[in-house]
Structure 1
Amino acid sequence: MIRRRATRALLGISLALVLSVVAGCSPPSTPAVPSIPAPPTVDEWSWTTTGFSLSTDADAPYSDRAPADVHGRDLDDTGLAIYYERNSADVRADHPVVYAQYGISALMEYESSGDPLWLDRAARQAEQLVAMRMERGEGWWYPYSFDWTYEDRTLTAPWWSGMAQGQALSLFTRLAQTTGEEQWATAADHTWASFQQEPSATEPWSTFIDDDHLWFEEYAGDQHPLMVLNGQIFAIFGLYDYWNFTQDQEVARYIDGGATTVLNIMQQIRKPGEISYYCVQDDFCARERWQDKKYHVIHSWQLNTLARLTGDAAFGEWADQLEADWKPSE
């Protein structure tokens, strides 16, 4: 039987945080970048919840939409999904989301076909995630080893992502369920531990509290959080898979907090009659550059999935509103 570990204690060290801003790249019209969230003390490590009743019988995240095209993705001769750095045709890099998404999708292919090739490919991605990990206490983190620029800001490597942590958690948990192998249960346990770690200026982080709401930041590093909707929900999907596997009520509390945050920001995400916003960072995200058709569709799909997992119709109602605002055929 696969071991289920108890929830790790939260770190209580209060760290002074600093912000590294790329010098000379902010135009006069761009507001100053605020600081990285300050870490709370243990007594303050709480957030708003709703009391969602999670379903163990709901169709799992991604059951209606595989996150990657396993038949169209290039692999190297070891079976590892290939990713090239943006704006480069020959500089290869580790991309934790690429590995996790391919692995989840390959495992789904295995479950539908029974072909062990797909199980091997799923395990290959998981092996690479474990090999590239950075450790912070009990937490395992899957870093981005290349800089990432958006608008006038640059995240300098290494940086981290709640989305990557969540999708890696889904992959490890599902491999543990499918194979019964302890190595994947161990990887899942350590990945879950990463969600419980506070913001830091010197160590990996993605979880933070903003206005009593729980966030899993998709772009966590030396820039202020973008507060990205799709990354938040992908992190929740990973936590849900792990909760469904372990029945750990502390994991359920994180899911409740993260999903409550989603409902709290939907007024900012939705732009009536138009494409929804990608993120909600104040004075930065509410502009046309952050309205993306692809992510508008993803938002609707994710919200419908949350409605299924939590049993709360409010998520489906928001999905319906987004679909009414804009459809791909328009």
Structure 2
Amino acid sequence: MDPVTLNEEGLQKTAAKKDPLRPFFLAFRLLTIYEKTKDPAALESAKRALDFMLDEYQPATREAEGTRWFYGFDYDRGIKAPWWSGMDGFFGPMTLYAGWQVTGNERYREAAIKSAKLMLRQPSDGGALWCEGEDCWISEYSWKGITRDKEYHVLNGHSGGFRLCIC
């Protein structure tokens, strides 16, 4: 990432793409820069990006049980916006959790846990985790009305699924 993207203008340009993975990547990058350099500007920009994702990013749903971020463009396989993905669906909460670890801001931790729990649902229920018996796999492309037979299985590692323990 070009250093010019690590400011408000960069955040707005990144968010305008309507791809929630990008602003979370920006926030994580800024948290990493802060951890390495202790540059207060990087920390402030990271917090701004996290707050933006919690309060302003669209399209998203914000409810008491958590936030779900959506892609705001049609995907070339005929998937119409808004759709969601296990990529940002889990990376976003991990980034928020990292934000809590760095800042101590309990808001980030609470949002991370709630939003991750939403993604642990089946894609047909608005989440990103398909489960079949003891095997589970993450959906990369999910949309309202998805069924298991329409899943693309794009994420690496799907072939055998993986065992998941939700404790």
- What TM-score do the two structures reach when normalised by structure 2? 0.78
If each structure's helix is expressed as a fraction of its own residues, which one has the higher value? 2
- Which residues of 2 match residues 149-298 of structure 1 at below 5 A? 149=76, 153-200=77-124, 204-210=126-132, 212-221=134-143, 224-230=150-156, 253-254=165-166
Q: Which has the higher strand share?
A: 2
Once the two structures are aligned, what percentage of the paired residues are identical? 25
Please report how far the alpha carbon of residue 254 of structure 1 lies from its aligned counterpart in structure 2 after TM superposition: 4.7
- Residue equivalent to 2:3: 71
Aligned length: 156
Equivalent residue for 1:245?
Answer: none
CA RMSD of aligned residues (A): 2.9
Measure the CA separation in 2 of the matches of 1:192 and 1:110: 24
* 1:218 shift after superposition: 1.4
Secondary structure of the structure 2 residue equivalent to 1:171: helix
Q: 1:129 Cα deviation (Å)?
A: 1.5
Aligned residue identity for 1:225? E
Instruction: Decide whether the 8 Å contact of 2:6 with 2:45 is kept in 1.
Output: no
Which residue number corresponds to residue 317 of structure 1? none
- Could you tell me how far apart the structure 1 residues matched to 2:101 and 2:157 are? 24
Structure 2 gaps, min length 5? 159-163
AA at the equivalent of 1:80: L
Look up the SS of the partner of 2:11 in the other structure: coil
What is the alpha-carbon distance in structure 2 between the residues aligned to residue 254 and residue 196 of structure 1?
Answer: 9
**Which ranges of structure 1 fall in alignment gaps of 5 or more residues?**
1-68, 85-91, 233-251, 256-330
**Could you list the per-position Cα deviations for residues 104-135 of structure 1 after superposition, in whole angstroms to 9, with x for gaps in the alignment?**
11100001011011111211221122123314
Which structure has the bigger radius of gyration? 1
CA contact under 8 A between 2:120 and 2:128: conserved in structure 1?
no
**Separation (CA, whole Å) in 2 of partners of 1:170 and 1:231:** 20
The aligned residue for residue 13 of structure 2 is 82
By relative contact order (CA 8 Å, sep 6+), the higher-ranking structure is 1
Rate the CA distance shift 1:115–1:186 in 2: closer, same or farther, 3 A. Answer: same
Normalising to structure 1: TM-score of the pair?
A: 0.42
Is the Cα–Cα contact under 8 Å of residues 140 and 193 in structure 1 kept in the other structure?
no
